[in-house]
Amino acid sequence: MTAWVDLDSTPIPGGVDILHLRRWGEAYSIQVGTAELMTDQDRGSEQALATIPCGRLTDRASPRILIGGLGMGFTLRAALDVLGPQAEVVVAELVPGVVAWARGPLAHLHGTSLDDPRVTLVEADVNRLIQSDPARFDAILLDVDNGPKGMTRRSNDRLYDVWGLKRAHYALRPGGLLAVWSGSPDRRFKARLKRCGFAVEEIRFPAHPGGRRHVLWIAVRVEVGAEASAA
């Protein structure tokens, strides 16, 4: 009987948990304890995190995208497939071990994406990049700690609370998009997005047949004084 094989483990900076890279046959999984954060067997919603918002930036000649979380690279690869040659994609990955996996045991999943001239990979907390400058990005794509209901690092909550959402609003250019991936629905978070100046669209993806659903929130920065409403 096939069982999980431990390939590597790495600490999470600022946290107490350990990330584990495991393989089951031909399937790869990144886990915290026995809880799965991501797998190469279920990538559709992670790809949609990029294809939906980036597909809405075709009218911008040189869009600048920030991706929070490298993971297994599905969001980055999907973004590069949609964006044109003048785009710039900044990827913030907090965990150095995840970057090492991307160039090691998971290199077959990442392909040539990390060597694409449009890509800048920064080993840093995505919060720091969001706070760096106003109106810096056309889109911010967040797939950090399983969404607003995090699993690994309490400080990640700052991405999804009122303070974090206001900072994201500040970092986006007019009409810019904040896209957030979550392992489960969260009505309070959707309402918080609206309160912080975003028009919000919620898209659900089946994670497993008959089971829970993954969620994407596509939030458009609304100018001060405009009304944010659900799509």
Per-residue pLDDT tens over the stretch 108-153: 999 999 999 999 999 999 999 999 889 999 999 998 877 786 555 4
Q: Which fold has domain 42-221?
A: Rossmann fold (3.40.50)
Per domain, the residue ranges of the chain are 42-221
Per-residue pLDDT tens over the stretch 193-217: 999 999 999 999 876 555 567 899 9
Q: What is the pLDDT of residue 229?
A: 43
Letter string b/e over residues 116-132, b meaning 16 or more CB atoms within 10 A of that residue's CB: bebbebbeebbbebbee
Helix, strand, coil fractions of the chain, as percent rounded to 5: 30, 30, 40
Distances, alpha carbon 35 to alpha carbons 62, 185, 216, in Å: 39, 18, 21
Listed residue (191, 64, 72, 84) closest to 132, CA to CA: 64
Spatial distance between the Cα atoms of 130 and 28, rounded to a whole number of angstroms:
30
Per-residue pLDDT tens over the stretch 53-74: 999 999 999 999 999 999 999 9
Q: Is the pLDDT of residue 92 over 80?
A: yes
Predicted TM-score (pTM) of this structure: 0.91
- Mean pLDDT, rounded, of the chain: 89
